[in-house]
Amino acid sequence: MNAFIGVIYSIDYEMLIRLLIAALLGLAMGLEREFKRKSLGLKTILVISIVSCLLTIVSIQSSYIFPATTNAEIRMDPLRLAAQIVSGVGFLGAGVILRREDDTVSGLTTAAIVWGAAGIGIATGAGFYVEAIIGVGLLLISVELIPLIIHKLGIKQLHLREQYLRVIVRDREDIEKVTSQVEKCVEKVKNIRIKDLNNNEYLLVLLLMVENDRTTTEIYTEISKLDRIESIELRA
């Protein structure tokens, strides 16, 4: 019983508070990803934030409690273990970055938030509570609020979104005609890629710029009425 009481008194409650703060900050970041239905959501961000904080605490505290010796002077970097967290989490973040067949890249924001969650955990574990809280606040503002403010500015370019259109045409002469027709249906055709298919058909991949208030169904219906198109695939 006395030994149990001694263990309780020996607990450093400041370290427990650091872990709790790291969990709360990770919760805030994880909920943002969870609401957007991302592959790395609440549970993953929580684990990264808490464990990063824990490893930072262990790294700092072990450098001070390591037993001294008369034969050699041992020096330890307090953040040596924590420094490996950033590179380790980088592999986890790389797993959510996808390059699709139309050369689009997705998952960059999620990967950055995963890396940021590790940084928040390290900052909290090192005792920088206020800085970590402000950092999470600025991060959420940057990801959620600033894009809305920019959208409300009314700049036309900011009211456009990208959509990828894949169409198949049968004749080489139809490529230019179909492209010209598609350009009249949207605000702008930003990029065009042409590929020869094995059955003497041609694949056109076009990056379209369309108004945000136009639905994918409306654009598909309008383009499907065009002549000389064998098949259509439209993806936001």
171 and 136 in a common domain: no
Q: Which residue has the higher pLDDT, 120 or 7?
A: 120
194 and 131 in a common domain: no
Handedness of CA 100, 103, 109, 115 (dihedral sign): positive
Whether residue 162 has pLDDT greater than 50: yes
Q: Give CA 24 to chain center in angstroms.
A: 20
76: number of Cβ within 10 Å: 13
208 and 148 in a common domain: no
Whether residue 127 has pLDDT greater than 70: yes
43 and 69 in a common domain: yes
170 and 202 in a common domain: yes
What are the angstrom distances between the C-alpha of 7 and each of 4, 19, 114? 5, 19, 35
87 and 196 in a common domain: no
What was the pLDDT predicted at 75? 65
Q: What is the pTM of this model?
A: 0.63
81: number of Cβ within 10 Å: 17
Last residue of a domain, one of 152, 174, 207: 152
Handedness of CA 32, 38, 43, 47 (dihedral sign): negative
Q: What tokens does 127 get?
A: 């005792």
Q: What tokens does 16 get?
A: 């427990």
The confidence band for 20, taking pLDDT boundaries of 50, 70 and 90, is: very high
139 and 169 in a common domain: no
Which range among 139-143, 146-150, 226-230 shows the weakest confidence by mean pLDDT? 146-150
Whether residue 43 has pLDDT greater than 50: yes
State which amino acid sits at residue 83: A
Which range among 7-11, 17-21, 99-103 shows the weakest confidence by mean pLDDT? 7-11
168 and 130 in a common domain: no
Q: What tokens does 171 get?
A: 């004749």
What was the pLDDT predicted at 176? 87
State which amino acid sits at residue 61: Q
What was the pLDDT predicted at 37? 77
- The CATH number for 216's domain is 3.30.70.260
Q: What is the DSSP letter of 67?
A: P
The confidence band for 7, taking pLDDT boundaries of 50, 70 and 90, is: very low
Last residue of a domain, one of 97, 123, 152: 152
Spatial CA neighbour of 46 closest among 96, 135, 114: 114
Q: Give CA 35 to chain center in angstroms.
A: 13
Last residue of a domain, one of 106, 124, 152: 152
The confidence band for 83, taking pLDDT boundaries of 50, 70 and 90, is: confident
What was the pLDDT predicted at 8? 46
54 and 12 in a common domain: yes
71 and 44 in a common domain: yes
Handedness of CA 90, 91, 97, 99 (dihedral sign): positive
C-alpha to C-alpha distance for 194 and 31, rounded to whole angstroms: 41
> What is the per-residue pLDDT across 171-219, written as a single tens digit (0 to 9) for each?
888 888 888 888 888 888 888 888 888 878 888 888 888 887 788 888 8
Per the structure, the count of domains in the chain is 2
Q: Which residue has the higher pLDDT, 41 or 133?
A: 133
Range of the domain at 207: 156-235
